[in-house]
Amino acid sequence: MGVLAQNIIDEKLAELEEWGSDGKSISKRFEFKNFAQSLEFVNKVGAIAEDSNHHPDIEFGWGYALITFTSHDAGGLTEKDFAAAERVEGI
């Protein structure tokens, strides 16, 4: 799967609510009421990652989770990253 051109990245980002990009990855910070909710969300993201064999970087703590996708093997963003982000949005 090839790296997406910037214009395609911009189009796909416009379809995702509150996701941002640095050109090589996409990320979103999710907010929660407490640590338990953050952990529950992260576990669901982990299940999606295992199912799709596409694993994000995850940072989380009390009341938040930051999810970042990139395709390390491709050296940038691919369709796989956006498909995974869409699945995370469905949680």
Q: Cα separation of 44 and 36, whole Å?
A: 12
Position 42 confidence tier, pLDDT thresholds 50, 70, 90: very high
Instruction: Please provide the DSSP assignment of 28-62 as one string.
Output: EEEE-SSHHHHHHHHHHHHHHHHHHT---EEEEET
pLDDT for position 83: 97
Position 1 pLDDT exceeds 80: no
Query: Can you state the angle between helices 35-52 and 79-89, rounded to 10 degrees?
Result: 140
Q: Cα separation of 5 and 56, whole Å?
A: 21
| Residue at token pair 């609510």 | 17
pLDDT for position 23: 87
Superfamily of domain 6-89: Transcriptional coactivator/pterin dehydratase (3.30.1360.20)
Please compute the mean of the pLDDT values over residues 7-23 and round it to a whole number. 95
